[in-house]
Structure 1
Amino acid sequence: MSQHHQNKATFLERLIFNNRPLVIFLCLLVSLLLFYQAVQIRPSTSFEKMIPLAHPYIQKMIEHRNDLGSLGNSVRISVEAREGSIFDADYMETLRQIHDEVFYIPGVDRAAMKSLWSPSVRWTEVTEEGFDGGEVIPQTYDGSAASLDELRGNVLKSGQIGRLVANDFRSSIIDVPLQESYADPQDQGRQLKLDYQRFSHELEEKVRDKYQAQNPNVRIHIVGFAKKVGDLIDGLLMVVVFFAAAFLITLVLLYVFTRCIRSTLSVLVTTLIAVGWQLGLMNLAGFGLDPYSMLVPFLIFAIGISHGVQKINGIAQQSGDADNALTAARRTFRQLFLPGMIAILADAVGFITLLIIDIGVIRELAIGASIGVAVIVFTNLILLPVAISYLGISRQAIERSKKDAHVEHPFWRLLSGFANPRMAPVSVALALLLAVGGFFYQKNNLQIGDLDQGAPELRPDSRYNKDNDFVINNYSTSSDVLVVMVKTEPEGCSNYDTLAAMDALTWKMENTPGVQSAVSLVTVARQSIKGMNEGSLKWETLSRNQDVLNNSIARADGLYNADCSLAPLMVFLNDHKAQTLTRTVAAVESFAAQNNREGLEFLLAAGNAGIEAATNEVIASSELTILSLVYLCVAGMCLITFRSLAATVCIVLPLILTSILGNALMAFLGIGMKVATLPVIALGVGIGVDYGIYIYSRLESFLRAGLPLQEAYYQTLRSTGKAVLFTGLCLAIGVATWIFSAIKFQADMGLMLTFMFIVNMFGALWLLPALAYFLIRPEKLAGSKGGSLFAH
């Protein structure tokens, strides 16, 4: 470069371009290290990462975890007899083998595991001589007709119908509580964390596949948190296929855009380097890939492509009158590094705001996305221009850029009309109408939490959801359990006042819509008192005699803790839809408000439904805070950058409109606001702000050159607008492939991101100039050198 241009160059530009071999060598060295780390990263999740640990419900559950057992994390295996009933020798032998097989799978809480073959599952009856009882499957069982008849009688007397045994006697359940960590079988002094994917695979291979093949009369259904997460991880591994599809689509479209294979490959390779660095840094930080953070590499790829396209477009334009590729690369770096840097900082700040949500998977997603956008500074803002300074742009691309610079573009001329006095008021009025309509629609229709039965993260016809439907339809106790913890003084859980209050709550819950049944200490006590009085239904109530009450709960194993200071009341729900949880929790809270007193408290909540209720409350309280922080941070970055409130409003208002319309679309499609969808809005804003910053930075430079607003916007569209339009369409097409995923929440995210990519792009091209017509005064900018960090 000439001495004049060298003097205009910033210190950073001279540092980078005067040491290009060193820059490439350092990037290569870092790539070798981080790519090695990236290939070491593994799918990883845990029960505690998926729940809001700071929520009062969860804190109470953790506080009393030892008293509750594994009510929050378990799987239920239903073994169905296709023909006949469970009272069959072959069926019972298969059930025993499955019980023993599952017993030895690592991670199972063996002491708490229950099935008909468990010694702790017992029957009780009243005889002329008093109470009699024993194991449901006695030691004398031998599979004979007589033994099966005895088994049938024991099951009828056990109280397990609808719980461990189906209402139609055609299936039974193995209840398998899990341990989040367990002793390594090879080294008892070392603790291993439960690997959900491996555990899910072991259930499939050692239980479902093995025993369905071994006994054709048996069909196996498996439900529970661990199984759902395992299926999610398996399905999300298909994200690699969608990533490959997005890569190929981007390759083709990028070549059509640039007409230069060298620049196309440069953008793709540097962006893939950014993805590799992000994964490597995540592994170095000790993070794995969970069902949510698996989507982060694609987001990094999208952001990298967005910035890479701007760089290539700028270099192609600069190459027309530059002496060589190095000069073009340096001019482009000088022109676009700062707006690119500000856009990336805005992205990072937007992602970091997700850290305020106290859910591990969202926090890891926020950290992963923030790391990813940070590395884009080095790969797409620095390494890419340096690489192009060596490789150059093809002659065909340069000639095309020169031709575009001197040819009238009817399409861009048409779009520039959004900045004229006739169209600008119409555009702003239309935007205002969309914002008001979208706001009230989502306010009245958008719900917090899941809106479907089973696992809404999976397709309705997935194997898991079919298994869940089977359990719901055949048992009185569903897989959705809300546990109310009744806390008393030591030895106080059997007091009449306590049991009477629990009885009242049980009655209230059983008459709450959405509740299947409720089971507590009272359930056993009432049955026992009836049994002690010759089975008379008149005595199926609570006695005021403390000795009778003490005796009545003696057989209520698992329904109170060792010192009788905590008794769980288990409420079995039809589903865990948002409305069901809200209604059920409200019923418990209103009862607790009226009946809590010194020595007696009704505490929420344990069980998977209790965890979902806590999660919904966190999401509901965080939604507005997250969006407000995202927009405040993005607005702050724009204000610092452009030193203009008007410029900030022009960039941020289209993003706010997109968020409102995105929420309205979620409500229209029946997608609830939950862990899987809340980050989408923040991520969409983070990516969408890039469009506005690049467009406004070029628009401002033309306004400073003295051009009127509409002409300045026309020139902006010719230089930067086509890159914005291409990026928005390219990324939307790539992410739209997710819609075909077997994982429903990935398909939902794909649909939402496709919508946000397009609407953010359209908002930047359509609404930004209309707002600029009302807010920007070109005569004040003309000839000005200050006021913006982009001014030279």
Structure 2
Amino acid sequence: MSNPKHDKGEHYLTSPKAEPFLERLIFNNRAVILVAFFILTLFLGYNAVKIQPDASFERMIPLEHPYIVNMLDHREDIENLGNFVRIAVEAKEGDIFSKEYMATLEKITDEVFYLDGVDRSGLKSLWTPNVRWVEVTERGFQGGTVIPDGYDGSRDSLEQLRQNILRSSEVGRLVADNFESTIIYAPLYEKNPETGEPLDYSNLSQALETKIRQKFEDQNPNIDIHIVGFAKKVGDLIEGIASIAWFAGITIVLTTILLFWYSRCIAGTLVPVLSSIIAVFWQLGILRLLGYGMDPYSVLVPFLVFAIGISHGVQVVNAMAIEAAKGFDPLTAARLAFRALYIPGILALISDAFGFLTLLFIEIDVIRDLAVAAGIGVAVIIVTNLVLHPLIMSYIGITKGGVKHVQNHGEKQDRKWRVMSYFSHPGVAPVSLLIALMGLGLGIYYKQDLKVGDLDQGAPELRADSRYNLDNKFIIDNYSTSADILVVMVATPEEECTRYPVLRAMDTLQWELANTPGVQSTASLADVSKTVAKALSEGNWKWYELPRNQTIINATIREAPPGLINTDCSLTPLLVFLEDHKAETLRTVTDRVETYIAENSNDQHTFKLAAGNAGVEAATNEVISKAKNMMLVFVYAVVSVLCFLTFRSIRAVACVVIPLVLTSILAEAIMAVMGIGIKVATLPVIALGVGIGVDYGIYIYSKLERYLLEGKPLQEAYFETLRSTGKAVMFTGVTLGIGVVTWIFSPIKFQADMGLLLFFMFLWNMVGSIWLLPALARFLLRPDRMVAKAREAESKR
């Protein structure tokens, strides 16, 4: 005997008007499509497992910013460009003036010299010939290498070494203020000059650990080694990626358990997980084929792809379970679920993709790479979770246990949904809007303190107690010269960089910077000239001034240290040592320099910002500051346009988008309160939270609109909406939250920050769609007009 519901469903499915072409194309060719999926999964999976970690100094900086353009234009002329490592070798007992310590320092210097990626010509250590001392005697200038000729480790030679160090300018730079450690400074090539291969940060970091730190600390228990620098920081970030595998496993296990609790169906549990894992493999495989690797920032995107895939898979399982409970067979249930979900599903995923792609406007390659990775991931989910998932389920179907679970929990769930439907009640909706306005006010108040850039010393990407940050703290505490260096480049015509007007302009800028908050000290060619002029005048401080006679100036800079003048005397750097690299410090100093540049650059000399690690961070902060608001405007504009094209109503757009705006403002307030600045690592969170968060509102509103057009009152329509999709939307929020909450325990702090912020945004966006959207609908929607408009449109067809 035929099932009447089944017969009705079959008729409904075969109706040309009701059956979309896309549905016929997919379900009439199930076997062929599944075979194609299998082959493609094998191919892309093979490429996915071969994807390699990828990091580059240039990809993490805004290459189009004027500061960076200036820096790269003169990269061959100056040091301190930002990509270097500093290795502090500490004597745990005693000081550096021992035969044993100096012998170890020599061996470490030799080992660093042969590391791949080190610019050997710029290597500095007490043992390198470019570290010298100079003094003025009655016979004129005398000088030499800091390591005395004939050094043999004896007491006399060590005493001579002490004198040479004191006569050099390296105390506080290469030699600690307390003489208990020294630094090996190693500039790095971004590309191997022989092979053209990019610097492998992972290998370099491992070499620094095994060939330098572990090797020499094991050989000499009296030695501690501290290593800082961009390359080491990136290496530690890449190393932290290894822990991601554990988080991935935990996420998959937790998600699987929750899915089974939700569906009580083995197929409804395993198929969404399998489809989402396939989506991750497809994404990684496509990225590798396009030439991308996984840098420390985009490595988290596969987590998002998996979580988004699960969230849409839940909708399919939910819809199929409801249809199966009505008595439909697996194929019919799958087709009905696909028909109900493919339009809101594709809209939601396209909104996700455009939310990610707004990051392409930010002129930093790692953020653009993240945007590409996320965009590809979302495109893949459209295929795997909206096509592959229903196709597999059309063969397997929802198990009897899953159908029974839907049937048995109907009444109990209805009571819950009936209570929640009061969010749209005329008496409750105003209270909800008042609470939302209060939250909006608090968010706006607290987000005023939100800063751009780093807010702490050290590497904020890593935990405060990480080895890198402890090493950085050691160097800050023991050396008077900061590791945060801003380089102002002074360009002149050839052979003109030592002219008096040029040096005078530099000296004036130095004086202004010395009186600028955040500046520790400065150094330039003008200092050298003044120091030597004083020395030539028997050390009388009255003569510590720039000579006006060019011949005397030429004599004073004859022994200028390397790095303060280029080969054709067309560029000389002014080094500014900062107290830290906090955003406020960088902004204050660069503003002062830019004001001076505007007033003092001329045909004889042009001041240019900026090189050094502080210059790079200042440029990055400026790009992020300008891009943040533009990115938000664009992502909201795209989401609003897509919603309008789908629902054809400004009121509908307001219902979906306003809860997202509230979430964005509250998230920024949380960042301000927790001391999390907007930077390369956290900026993408804003777009990701909006792009993914819109999914909830789209699913809720699409159902609500359907029931309103059937003529149901708003509260009754919202009750039916909750009955059909409320559980799935709530579970989606929890699933997305679980997909990122494990990041909070990452050893990499920026991953923990991203996990916390995304966890909040995913859950709060879900709350907004369930709680605030119906309250807004009570005031914004006009159901009678919606019905009349729909009937009018239908009559014109």
Q: When the two structures are superposed, what TM-score results if normalisation uses the length of structure 1?
A: 0.97
**1:141–1:786 Cα change, 3 Å:** farther
Task: Quote the sequence identity (%).
Answer: 55
Q: After alignment, is 407-416 or 579-588 more displaced?
A: 407-416
2:35 is aligned, of 25, 29, 32, to: 25
Q: In the alignment, does 2:481 pair up with 1:483?
A: no
Give how far 1:172 is off.
0.7
C-alpha distance in 2, partners of 1:785/1:399?
37
Q: After alignment, is 407-416 or 243-252 more displaced?
A: 407-416
C-alpha distance in 1, partners of 2:326/2:170?
84
Q: Counterpart in 1 of 2:6?
A: none
| Cα displacement string for residues 695-718 of structure 1 (whole angstroms, at most 9, x for unaligned residues) | 111111111111110011011111
**1:299–1:643 Cα change, 3 Å:** same
SS of 2:196's equivalent in the other structure is strand
Give how far 1:432 is off.
2.0
Give how far 1:407 is off.
5.4
Q: Counterpart in 2 of 1:460?
A: 464
Q: In the alignment, does 2:41 pair up with 1:37?
A: no
C-alpha distance in 1, partners of 2:343/2:675?
41
2:203 is aligned, of 198, 207, 210, to: 198
Q: Contact (CA 8 Å) 1:70, 1:179: kept in 2 or not?
A: no
Letter in 2 for 1:88: S
Q: In the alignment, does 2:748 pair up with 1:748?
A: no
SS of 1:66's equivalent in the other structure is coil
Letter in 2 for 1:140: G
| Cα displacement string for residues 253-274 of structure 1 (whole angstroms, at most 9, x for unaligned residues) | 1100000111100000000000
Q: In the alignment, does 2:181 pair up with 1:176?
A: no
Matches within 5 A, 1:96-115: 96-115=106-125
Matches within 5 A, 1:623-638: 623-638=628-643
C-alpha distance in 2, partners of 1:277/1:408?
37
Matches within 5 A, 1:405-416: 405=410, 409-416=414-421
C-alpha distance in 1, partners of 2:453/2:412?
53
Q: Contact (CA 8 Å) 2:86, 2:229: kept in 1 or not?
A: yes
Q: In the alignment, does 2:502 pair up with 1:469?
A: no
Q: In the alignment, does 2:547 pair up with 1:543?
A: yes
C-alpha distance in 2, partners of 1:574/1:432?
41
Give how far 1:593 is off.
2.3
Q: Counterpart in 2 of 1:85?
A: 95
Q: After alignment, is 457-466 or 517-526 more displaced?
A: 517-526
Give how far 1:405 is off.
4.3
| Cα displacement string for residues 275-325 of structure 1 (whole angstroms, at most 9, x for unaligned residues) | 110000011110000010001000111111110001100000011224310
1:133 is aligned, of 125, 135, 143, to: 143
Q: In the alignment, does 2:497 pair up with 1:493?
A: yes
C-alpha distance in 1, partners of 2:792/2:55?
48
**1:288–1:788 Cα change, 3 Å:** farther
Q: Contact (CA 8 Å) 1:99, 1:117: kept in 2 or not?
A: yes
- Count of aligned positions: 785
Q: Counterpart in 1 of 2:575?
A: 570
Give how far 1:542 is off.
1.0
Q: Counterpart in 2 of 1:333?
A: 338
C-alpha distance in 2, partners of 1:397/1:298?
27
Q: Counterpart in 1 of 2:594?
A: 589
**1:507–1:392 Cα change, 3 Å:** same
Q: When the two structures are superposed, what TM-score results if normalisation uses the length of structure 2?
A: 0.97
Structure 2's unaligned 5+ residue stretches are 1-8
1:320 is aligned, of 301, 314, 325, to: 325
Q: After alignment, is 723-732 or 691-700 more displaced?
A: 723-732
Q: Contact (CA 8 Å) 1:472, 1:574: kept in 2 or not?
A: no
SS of 1:477's equivalent in the other structure is coil
Matches within 5 A, 1:349-748: 349-405=354-410, 409-443=414-448, 445-556=449-560, 557-748=562-753
SS of 1:579's equivalent in the other structure is helix
C-alpha distance in 2, partners of 1:219/1:640?
64
Give how far 1:534 is off.
1.9
C-alpha distance in 2, partners of 1:786/1:488?
76
C-alpha distance in 2, partners of 1:460/1:612?
19
| Cα displacement string for residues 194-239 of structure 1 (whole angstroms, at most 9, x for unaligned residues) | 0111100100000000001111111111010000111111112211
Q: Contact (CA 8 Å) 2:424, 2:718: kept in 1 or not?
A: yes
Give how far 1:600 is off.
1.5
Q: Counterpart in 2 of 1:273?
A: 278
Letter in 2 for 1:9: E
Q: Contact (CA 8 Å) 2:357, 2:375: kept in 1 or not?
A: yes
**1:162–1:210 Cα change, 3 Å:** same
Q: Contact (CA 8 Å) 1:456, 1:745: kept in 2 or not?
A: yes
C-alpha distance in 2, partners of 1:437/1:644?
30
Q: Contact (CA 8 Å) 1:706, 1:783: kept in 2 or not?
A: no
Letter in 1 for 2:176: A
Q: Contact (CA 8 Å) 1:642, 1:787: kept in 2 or not?
A: no
C-alpha distance in 1, partners of 2:486/2:357?
33
Letter in 1 for 2:202: Q
SS of 1:140's equivalent in the other structure is coil
Q: Contact (CA 8 Å) 1:242, 1:738: kept in 2 or not?
A: yes
Q: Counterpart in 1 of 2:153?
A: 143
Letter in 2 for 1:306: S
Q: Contact (CA 8 Å) 1:223, 1:479: kept in 2 or not?
A: no
Q: Counterpart in 2 of 1:5?
A: 13
**1:591–1:502 Cα change, 3 Å:** same
SS of 2:143's equivalent in the other structure is strand
Q: After alignment, is 250-259 or 64-73 more displaced?
A: 64-73
**1:179–1:619 Cα change, 3 Å:** same
Q: Contact (CA 8 Å) 2:132, 2:146: kept in 1 or not?
A: yes
Q: Contact (CA 8 Å) 1:258, 1:397: kept in 2 or not?
A: yes
- Moved segments of 4+, more than 6 Å: 786-789
C-alpha distance in 2, partners of 1:664/1:317?
40
Q: Contact (CA 8 Å) 1:308, 1:384: kept in 2 or not?
A: yes
Q: Contact (CA 8 Å) 1:199, 1:230: kept in 2 or not?
A: yes
Letter in 2 for 1:312: V
Letter in 2 for 1:325: P
Give how far 1:441 is off.
2.0
SS of 1:385's equivalent in the other structure is helix
C-alpha distance in 1, partners of 2:585/2:425?
52
Give how far 1:3 is off.
5.1
Structure 1's unaligned 5+ residue stretches are none
C-alpha distance in 2, partners of 1:180/1:43?
16
Q: Contact (CA 8 Å) 1:705, 1:783: kept in 2 or not?
A: no
| Cα displacement string for residues 521-545 of structure 1 (whole angstroms, at most 9, x for unaligned residues) | 1121111112222222222221111
